[in-house]
Amino acid sequence: MVPSADDRPRERLLAAGAPALSDADLLALVLGSGTAGLPARASALRLLGRAPLASLAWAPAEELAGPGIGLARASALAAAFELGRRAAWSPPRRGERCLDPGRVHELTRHLAHAERETFHVVLLDVRGRLIKVAQVAEGSLTQCPVSPRDALRPAVRDGAHGVVFVHNHPSGDPAPSAEDADLTERLRAAAEIVGVLARDHVIVASGGWYSFVEAGRWRR
């Protein structure tokens, strides 16, 4: 039997380029060959039937594994997704100005798909340049209690001039809760007391980000 065009994604990629292939074709190429009696493309289609590609791209290898996809091939898929993210991602580097909430999001966007809420502080020098990012708390699916003392400890310890507070919403909605707004005010007040310039509070989620400064709820 002569293979159909759908069974020859490698040839079509070489002839027309990767953008010409469907999601299933590209997944099939990474999988290489099927197992358990399933062709690679059939396994890819079954995988896409379980979740959209955007969700699969953040799934661990164990969740990608299933009929026709063993752990070895699932690991290859997870590695391919991570390579794609790294190639497209240009996070701020130490010494780069990091005041724009979009750049803060680029720096911390990996938090958007975390299963738990975590709280981080972005440490900045006097010119608003990145020193480092420090995690100060980890909570549950819906909350991450953090005290102003804990949130500001890395800044005091490392001699940072300013900070941007960052936490994630696993729900996918970056809109702040009433508790987030209250915490923001307490953090600003505490930062002023210890002589650290609080620059912003950014919430990251799979649905985007929210900046208290950008929303007009914070003055630098």
Q: What is the pLDDT of residues 49-63, one digit of tens each?
A: 888 888 888 888 888
The closest alpha carbon to 123, from 81, 84, 151, 149, belongs to 151
Q: What is the pLDDT of residues 106-153, one digit of tens each?
A: 888 888 888 889 999 999 999 999 999 999 998 887 778 899 999 999
pLDDT at 141: 75
Residue 1 has pLDDT above 60, yes or no: no
pLDDT at 68: 79
pLDDT at 90: 62
Query: pTM of the full predicted structure?
Result: 0.69
The answer to whether 167 and 139 are in contact (CB under 8 A) is no
More confident residue, 198 or 97: 198
Confidence bin at 200 (pLDDT 50/70/90): very high
Mean pLDDT of the chain: 86
| Measured CA distances, 204 to 20, 133, 135, 141, 153 (Å) | 33, 15, 14, 14, 22
Query: What domains lie within the chain, and their CATH numbers?
Result: 5-88 (no CATH), 101-211 (3.40.140.10)
Q: What is the pLDDT of residues 60-74, one digit of tens each?
A: 888 888 877 888 888
129 contacts: CB under 8 Å, gap ≥ 6: 94, 95, 96, 97, 98
Work out whether strand 208-211 and strand 197-205 pair parallel, antiparallel, or are unpaired.
Answer: antiparallel
How many Å apart are CA 158 and CA 211, to the nearest integer?
24
pLDDT at 34: 58
Q: What percent of the chain has pLDDT over 90?
A: 40
Confidence bin at 2 (pLDDT 50/70/90): very low
Residue 37 has pLDDT above 80, yes or no: no
Mean predicted confidence (pLDDT) in 193-200: 95
